[in-house]
Each structure stands twice: as C-alpha cells, then as structure tokens.
Structure 1
Amino acid sequence: MPNGTLESYLKHAHETLSMIDRLRLLKQIAEGLQYLHDNDVIHGDLTNGNVLVATDGSPRLADFGISNIMGQSNPAFSYHTGAVRWAAPELLDSPDDQPIQCATKSTDIYALGSIMLQVLYGKQPYWWLKSAIHVMSAKFKCTEPIDSSVEIEPNHLDFMRRCWSTKSELRPSVEEVINYLQEALSNETSSA
C-alpha cells in the first residue's frame, strides 16, 4: 500500500488529520473487522502494523497469519515484541489449569481499542514502556495502556476503557464500536 502501515501513515499524517478524518479512519477499520466477524473470522493479531493505508487514506486489514475461522481451527495466540501492546490480557496470562487462550472476537475488540488510542491521540498502548517484558508486567498488574501525560476526551476514554476491560464479556461488540464512532462523527460534524 502506498501509505504503508497505519503506524507509518500516522507518523506522517497525524498532525494534519482532523478529528473527523481520524474518526472516519477508525470507523472504516471497525467496518473491516465487522466484515471478518460477520463471516466468523477472528483476526487475532490486530495492531498498527497490520492495518495498511491505501492512496486515498482508507485502511485495509492485513496479516492474517494467525487468524482463524471460528469452529474450524483454534490457534493459540503467538506474540512478537510489538503485538504484546495490543494483545488482550487473557491472551498473555491464562490460568494455570486452563489451556492457552485463543483469539476471539473480544480479543480483537481489545486490540481495536488500542488502535483507537493511536489514531485519535497518536500514542501506542503503553508508549512509555520500552520492552515487551515491561508491557506484559503492566498487563499482569491490570495497568491501563495509557498514562496521565496525554489528555483524552472523557467520552473517548470511557469507550476505550470498555474495549480494554479485563473482563472480556464486558467489551463492546464490533457493532457497538461502529455505532459509537458514527455518533462521535455526527457530533464532530455538527460542531464543526
């Protein structure tokens, strides 16, 4: 893709994108995820490096190396240094008596909440932590992927916190994410 990954695109374009542009970008990412979920496909590795950006600025979900079709396969989550930042805590710390946790629609939503943080505020989850070990330690301690150095709009923060819930059943569905983003877009458009 001409604009590279979401990470590289945001490095060059973040300051010039309006809040409306950012919300539209997020809504398109969520719609791509909805398409997958509607077809019983779990992405499993949704990160800023696995979203590519086309010439027109529209996103494409990529890297389905560990995605799975629900009911047909059950791959365990495998992570690399970067992906730990976006991974739902249950993928990293399954109880001793439980098998390794597999990616689910809910773990995709956790990752989508982290993508929201980066698109809206220009910060990767746990940006102040440099190593995967420190990020994992923070997740084990239930530390949120944000700190107080960035001022986040309260309604955005509340919604991202729902996506990051340590209780997977409390995370919103992809449809709820799209509805939230549509409402946020409507509010931005009417106030612009």
Structure 2
Amino acid sequence: MLERLQQLFHDLVSRAPSGQAPCIQHYAEDSPASQTPSVDTPNRTSDDHVSSGHLPTEASSSVPCIKLGDINRQTSYPTASGGLGDVYKCTWNRGESSDEVAVKYPRFPSLSDSDIFIINKNFDRETRIWAKLKHQYVLPLHGTVEQFGPFRAFVSPWMPNGTLESYLEHAHETLSMIDRLRLLKQIAEGLQYLHDHNVIHGDLTNGNVLVAADGSPRLADFGISNIMVQSNPAFSYHTGAVRWVAPELVDPPEDQPIQCATKSTDIYALGGIMLQVLHGKQPYWWLKSAIHVISAKFKRTEPIDSSVEIEPNHLDFMRRCWSTESELRPSVEEVINYLQEALSNETSSA
C-alpha cells in the first residue's frame, strides 16, 4: 500500500507527457467539437439559473486587454502566493478614476516557447468563458494585462477580506450560526450559477473562495486552475487542495484511469467548505501531509473525526456530500434548499 501511495504521489507531482494531462476539471462552452464534451449535465435548460446572474451576449463577452502602464503595483512583492500563482495588490488607473484590483500572475515551471504559446491560447479560451460569467458571488474579470511575464495576468476586483480561510481565521469569534449559514448559502448560489451554465469549478477549496468587504463570497480560480492542470497535474493537488478532492479523482476505477471533475465532485468539495465554515476545521485537519490525506482517501476515510461535536443534521448532510458513491451526493439545488431551511430554523429560534 505504501509503495502504491508513493507512486501515486510521484505521479501527481510529475509533469504529464504531452497530450496526456489528466482531465481533473472541465468547462462546457461553445468551443470546437474537438473539446472534451461536458460531463454530469443537469436536467435543466440553459435559462434555468438564479435570478441574480445571467450570461451576457457574445458581443459583450470579449476580454478587455488592460495597458500595463495603467496598472501600478502597490508592493514590489506579491501580496499573496499560492499553488496557482502570485497575487499583486495594484491600482488600476482608469482616466478620471482608479480602482484597487488584484492582478494574478500564473506561475509555471520552465517551459519552451511553444508551450508558452499554447498556454496563452488556452488562457484566451478560458478567459472568454470567465468574462461571460456575471453573478454576485462569482469573482468578475476586469480584463488581462500582458508583460507581467511570459503569460497573461488576470485583473479582478480586490477582495479586502482575502480568502475564505483567512477570513474565517480572523472572524471566527464574531460570526453567528446565522452568519455562517448565510455565507454557505451564498457560496452554494455561486456554484449553482456555474453549474447551471455547465461550468465545473474543479478546484473548490477554502483558498479559491474570496471574501468581499461586506463579508459575501466570490468563487475564483476556476479558469486559471484548468490551464494549470493541463500543463502540469501537480497543480490539481497543490498544497492543501488534495483535502478537498473527491476520492474518485485520487483513486479512479481501474476501467477509468482518467477521471474528470464533475458537478458531483464539486459537491464533495462543498461539503468540506461546509465543515470549515460551520466548525472551523479543514477536511482531514488531523493529518498534516498530503500523502497521509491521499492514504485516507484510498481507505475512504471520512474528512472528520470524533474530536469535533457537529450538530447531527449538519453532519448527516455533509456525509451525503462526501458519499463515496457520487450519484448519491445531493445536487447544488438540494444544498441550497437545506441551507435555506437551516437558516430559517436558526432565525426563528434566535
């Protein structure tokens, strides 16, 4: 077993051969027929989505290219760094006004000029998808900026509360259960919007949910991470991310050696978000290394242990999200309905 785990871990952090990158996450778009078809498509029409979001027309979905001279870094060094790149806090000068923005620059290992060209073409495709997404709980894309390096950097609104993880660390004592349930419902509504438009997030973690000044969430990094994974499978399991990954993506069935992310694997990750928001614990918090987490997933060990007291109804629902049988996991609509009911119960008893 140990040898198998070590080999798997080695495979995850090794560069995939050309044309054999694992399908960890996928976007359904109006792309050429050569693209992988979407998976886990819900029985809904394209018009069936939350009222607070919509897809703009094709004419309004182009990605603005922002001039490098209009972006001023506020610090010489990245404000934040993660498995997918570096984030700089910048000022975007827009003539008579200026905005604080986050500029995210993807970080790759050494690549050839041809690799860089292909990756930039893939970025063009994914940013076109991102630019179409308009929802209050999905991070918007202002545009891209070149000459930060060999790759395009992504310009989006600055989120003063940082990631969900950092927000919960400093707001842990002040958030009521009502606040936590409302935050979770907002995250689920953002995910519902993505799913309703056949976008699989594929990398939903506490670091890819950002928090705005008013405490509301913004889902992020569903486009950048897709390209990173295609370039190098190690990015699918960057530090900490393996805790949120559905077990079938780590240990796929023998007859399906390449397993794509689906709406169901997003729900598995959402169960981990629920655990952290409600009870302040990451999945498998008692395990310190990625290889031990992978081992637990091989054994189909739950992401919780008995050291934390969890309200029975919440625990039962999270366990549905973590079901090892993906078809038994709830839809995002069921998650929202559950959270709405829990929120109503908390409000009436307050």
Report the TM-score, using the length of structure 2 for normalisation. 0.52
2:181·2:339 contact (CA, 8 Å) conserved in 1? yes
**Deviation at residue 62 of structure 1 after TM alignment:** 0.3
Match of 2:240 in 1: 82
Q: Which whole-Å deviations, capped at 9, do the CAs of 1:131-172 have from their partners, x for residues lacking one?
A: 000001011111100011100000000000000000000000
1:41·1:67 contact (CA, 8 Å) conserved in 2? no
Cα distance in 1 for residues equivalent to 2:282 and 2:228: 29
Q: Which whole-Å deviations, capped at 9, do the CAs of 1:74-113 have from their partners, x for residues lacking one?
A: 9999322311000000010012331311100000000000
Match of 2:313 in 1: 155
2:225·2:236 contact (CA, 8 Å) conserved in 1? no
Secondary structure of the structure 1 residue equivalent to 2:210: strand
2:160·2:213 contact (CA, 8 Å) conserved in 1? yes
**Structure 1's 75 and 140: CA in aligned 2 closer, same or farther, altered over 3 A?**
closer
Q: Which whole-Å deviations, capped at 9, do the CAs of 1:5-62 have from their partners, x for residues lacking one?
A: 0000000001110000000000000000000000000000000000000000000000
**Structure 1's 36 and 81: CA in aligned 2 closer, same or farther, altered over 3 A?**
same
**Structure 1's 134 and 72: CA in aligned 2 closer, same or farther, altered over 3 A?**
closer
1:75·1:102 contact (CA, 8 Å) conserved in 2? no
**Structure 1's 70 and 7: CA in aligned 2 closer, same or farther, altered over 3 A?**
closer
2:229·2:236 contact (CA, 8 Å) conserved in 1? no
Structure with the larger RCO, 1 or 2 (CA within 8 Å, 6+ apart): 1
1:44·1:107 contact (CA, 8 Å) conserved in 2? yes
2:223 is the alignment partner of 1:65: yes
Which has more helix, going by share of residues? 1
**Deviation at residue 65 of structure 1 after TM alignment:** 3.6
**Structure 1's 73 and 79: CA in aligned 2 closer, same or farther, altered over 3 A?**
closer
Secondary structure of the structure 2 residue equivalent to 1:118: helix
2:228·2:235 contact (CA, 8 Å) conserved in 1? no
2:229·2:235 contact (CA, 8 Å) conserved in 1? no
Q: 5+ unaligned residues in a row in structure 2: which ranges?
A: 1-158
Cα distance in 1 for residues equivalent to 2:306 and 2:209: 27
Match of 2:195 in 1: 37
Q: 5+ unaligned residues in a row in structure 1: which ranges?
A: none
Which has more strand, going by share of residues? 2
Q: Who wins on radius of gyration, i.e. which is larger? A: 2
Q: What CA RMSD, in Å, does the superposition of the two structures yield over aligned residues?
A: 2.9
Match of 1:113 in 2: 271
**Structure 1's 36 and 187: CA in aligned 2 closer, same or farther, altered over 3 A?**
same
Cα distance in 2 for residues equivalent to 1:70 and 1:2: 25
Secondary structure of the structure 2 residue equivalent to 1:44: coil
**Structure 1's 74 and 29: CA in aligned 2 closer, same or farther, altered over 3 A?**
farther
**Structure 1's 102 and 74: CA in aligned 2 closer, same or farther, altered over 3 A?**
farther
Match of 1:15 in 2: 173
**Structure 1's 136 and 73: CA in aligned 2 closer, same or farther, altered over 3 A?**
closer
Once the two structures are aligned, what percentage of the paired residues are identical?
93
**Deviation at residue 68 of structure 1 after TM alignment:** 6.6
**Structure 1's 70 and 170: CA in aligned 2 closer, same or farther, altered over 3 A?**
farther
Deviates more, 1:68-77 or 1:50-59: 68-77
The count of corresponding residues between Structure 1 and Structure 2 is 192
Deviates more, 1:24-33 or 1:88-97: 88-97
**Structure 1's 125 and 23: CA in aligned 2 closer, same or farther, altered over 3 A?**
same
**Structure 1's 71 and 144: CA in aligned 2 closer, same or farther, altered over 3 A?**
closer
**Structure 1's 35 and 68: CA in aligned 2 closer, same or farther, altered over 3 A?**
farther
1:81·1:132 contact (CA, 8 Å) conserved in 2? yes
Cα distance in 1 for residues equivalent to 2:240 and 2:183: 22
**Structure 1's 66 and 162: CA in aligned 2 closer, same or farther, altered over 3 A?**
farther
**Structure 1's 64 and 27: CA in aligned 2 closer, same or farther, altered over 3 A?**
same
Report the TM-score, using the length of structure 1 for normalisation. 0.94
**Structure 1's 77 and 88: CA in aligned 2 closer, same or farther, altered over 3 A?**
farther
